[in-house]
């Protein structure tokens, strides 16, 4: 799990975080990323 409470929740920051995590675990090991799809993610 990844705690993103300290990350400014913008689309750009979330995309950067997802890319970083996928690179860390390896694309072959990334199965699914689940987010809370809230309208305040801009």
Q: What is the pLDDT of residue 4?
A: 64
For the chain, the 3-state helix, strand and coil shares in percent, each to the nearest 5, are: 45, 0, 55
Q: What is the pLDDT of residue 7?
A: 64
Task: Kindly state the tokens that stand for 31.
Answer: 């199965």
- Tell me the whole-structure pTM to 2 decimals: 0.59
pLDDT-derived band at 38 (thresholds 50, 70, 90) equals: low
pLDDT in tens, 2-29: 666 666 777 788 888 889 889 999 989 9
């Amino acid at each position: 799990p990844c705690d993103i409470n300290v990350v400014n929740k913008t689309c750009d920051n979330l995309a950067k975080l997802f890319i970083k995590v996928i690179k860390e675990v390896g694309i072959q090991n990334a199965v699914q990323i689940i987010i809370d799809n809230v309208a305040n993610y801009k």
